[in-house]
Amino acid sequence: MAYDKFEILKSTAVPLPIENVDTDQIIPARFLKATERKGFGDNLFRDWRYNGDDTPKSDFVLNNPTYSGKILVGGKNFGSGSSREHAAWAVYDYGFRCVISSFFADIFKGNCLNIGVLPVQVSPEFSEKIFAEIAADPNTEIEVNLPNQTVTILKTGEQESFEINGYKKQNMLNGFDDIDYLNNIKGDITEFAKELPL
Partner 1 sequence: MSTKKTLFDKVWDSHVVKHVEDGPDVLFIDRHLVHEVTSPVAFLGLKNRNVGVLFPNKTFATADHNTPTINQHLPVKDPLSANQLKALEENAKEHGISHWGLGHEKNGIVHVVGPEYGITQPGATIVCGDSHTSTHGAFGAIAFGIGTSEVEMVLSTQCIMQPKPKKMRINIEGELNFGVTPKDVALFIISKLTTSGATGYFVEYAGDVFENMTMEGRMTVCNLSIEMGARGGMIAPDEKTFEYIKGREFTPKGADWDKAMAYWETLKTDEGATFDKELTFSASDIEPMITYGTNPGMGMGISKSIPNAEDLEGGVATYKKSLGYMAFNEGEDMIGKPIDFVFIGSCTNGRIEDFRAFTSIVKGRKKADNVTAWLVPGSHKVEAAIKEEGLLDILQEAGFELREPGCSACLAMNDDKVPAGKYAVSTSNRNFEGRQGPGSRTLLASPLVAAAAAVTGKVTDPRELMKELA
Contact region with partner 1 (CB under 8 A), list: 60-68, 85-93, 140-148, 151-159? 85-93
Nearer to partner 1, 27 or 142 (CB): 27
Kindly tell me which of 32 and 61 has the beta carbon lying closer to partner 1.
Answer: 32
Applying CB under 8 A, the span of 58-66, 102-110, 127-135, 139-147 interacting with partner 1 comes to: 102-110
User: Residue 50 is which amino acid?
Assistant: Y
Which of 126, 125, 166, 131 has the alpha carbon at shortest distance from 146? 166
Quote the CA–CA distance of 126 and 106 in Å, as a whole number.
21
Phi, psi of 73 (to 5 degrees): -110, 115
CA angle 65, 80, 95 (to 5 degrees): 30
Find how far residue 147's CA is from the centre of its chain. Answer: 18
136 or 193: whose CB is closer to partner 1? 193
Asked if 136 interacts with partner 1 (CB under 8 A), we say: no
Smaller CB separation from partner 1, 37 or 155: 37
Q: Between 28 and 41, whose beta carbon lies closer to partner 1?
A: 28
The answer to whether the beta carbons of residues 15 and 64 sit under 8 Å apart is: no
**Would you count residue 119 as binding partner 1 (CB under 8 A)?**
no
> Which residue's CB is nearer to partner 1, number 155 or number 192?
192
- Binding to partner 1 by residue 111, rule CB under 8 A? yes
- Nearest residue to 104 (alpha-carbon basis) of 90, 122, 92, 89: 122
- 37-56 binders of partner 1 (CB under 8 A): 37, 47, 52
Instruction: State yes or no: residue 25 binds partner 1 (CB under 8 A).
Output: yes
Q: What is the nearest approach in angstroms of partner 1 to the Cβ of residue 120?
A: 16
135 is a site residue for partner 1 (CB under 8 A): no
Q: Which of 84, 120, 79, 83 is nearest to 99 (CA)?
A: 120
The H or E element containing residue 153 is strand 150-153
Beta strands in 1-145 (DSSP E): 8-11, 13-16, 71-74, 98-101, 118-121, 142-145
Binding site residues, partner 1, CB under 8 A: 1, 17-20, 22, 24-25, 28-30, 32-37, 47, 52, 75-77, 80-86, 88, 103-107, 110-111, 114-115, 165-168, 177-179, 181-183, 185-186, 188-190, 192-193, 196-198
